[in-house]
Structure 1
Amino acid sequence: MNLRIGFGYDVHQLVEGRDFWLGGVKIPHKKGALGHSDADVLVHVICDALLGAANLGDIGKHFPDNSKEFKDIDSKLLLGEVVQMLKENNYEIVNIDSTVCLQLPKLAPFINQMKDELAKCINIESDRISIKATTTEKLGFVGNEKGVSAYATVLINKVGVS
């Protein structure tokens, strides 16, 4: 086995007047994440973690936030491209572990739907994706409902290598 670990972190400001996308799922909320794309912070950290594990750079390198091509794009499309890059470099995804930091809304009712949506996009079983949610106990920008952050760790394996 040729295992590699990758880590991703991202943060987005929360603002009124935007849809709130998380893990490929539209979450009902009065605010949404601000960003060049749909600002799906969970998908972004997974992309970064996968790219990092494969030593392929980061999300900004492949999908720059000043490119009109990626304006308001569905982040699941970016994740699909990242998964394709991994396949082209003979990597398979072993598992994904992620944490979303958000004061409100509570994410427990949406976790399984997000796992299913991501699994479909990545083409792996949903039990290989972990999504945890936490608050910052009303501390900082997340606790004051001004932003959302997320972290992801991934394990990938180089296939065809002994």
Structure 2
Amino acid sequence: MQKIRIGYGYDVHQLADGEEFWLGGIKLDYHRGAVGHSDADVLIHVICDALLGAANLRDIGYHFPDTDPKYKGIDSKKLLAETTKIIRNVGFEIGNIDATVSLQKPKIKPVIPDMIKCLSEVMEIDKEDLSIKATTTEKLGFVGREEGVDAHAVVLIYKK
């Protein structure tokens, strides 16, 4: 019997004027951006957390702590590449990833194909194995007030 595992990730980042907005490895052209120790790419962070959790390897903060200056401003694609390497080093491969970003503005549906291309290349998986969806909160809560962005991801990994 093949061993399969499921992992889940959730993350939130505050939005602020004048910050760069990286999402899914793509820099968005918007006057507000996510605040964080790294480049604050909430989508990459939830994928990392889900992959690490599925492999029972703790979380992104354990492997890449925000107290370590070497991660200050780091491109989250590097964290994703390292996370993928970590789970592969213990014998797991990615089956598929399903992620949702909740953001009132800007609208990201037009750049989702670019995000899928970028992240699938970083993880060395087929584009068909990565689903990225976008939603709003119908102007409710911190996302609706455009104070922040959140994301969820579910992954399936399996032993090679």
TM-score w.r.t. structure 2 length? Answer: 0.99
Q: Which residue of 2 aligns with 1:58?
A: 59
Inter-partner Cα distance in structure 2 for 1:67 and 1:32? 22
RMSD: 0.4
Q: Show the counterpart of 2:33.
A: 32
CA deviations over 1:47-100 (Å, ceiling 9, x no partner): 000000000000000001111010000000001110000111010000000000
Question: Percent identical across equivalent pairs?
Answer: 59
1:135 maps to which residue? Answer: 136
SS in 1 for 2:155: strand
Alignment of 1:62-81 (within 5 A): 62-81=63-82
Structure 2: unaligned runs, 5 residues or longer: none
Partners in 2 of 1:46 and 1:27 — Cα distance? 19
In the alignment, which residue of structure 2 is the partner of 1:155? 156
Give structure 1 regions of 4+ aligned residues with deviation exceeding 4 angstroms. none
Shift of 1:21: 0.4
Match of 1:88 in 2: 89
Secondary structure of the corresponding residue to residue 8 of structure 1: strand
Deviation digits for residues 5-45 of structure 1, max 9, x if unmatched? 00000000000111100000001111000000000000000
Give the Cα separation in 2 of the matches to 1:142 and 1:88: 37
The alignment status of 1:97 with 2:98, answered yes or no, reads yes
Provide structure 1 residue ranges, at least 5 long, that are not aligned to the other structure: none
Give the TM-score normalised by the residue count of structure 1: 0.97
Q: Residues of 1 paired with 2:116 and 2:52: CA distance?
A: 20
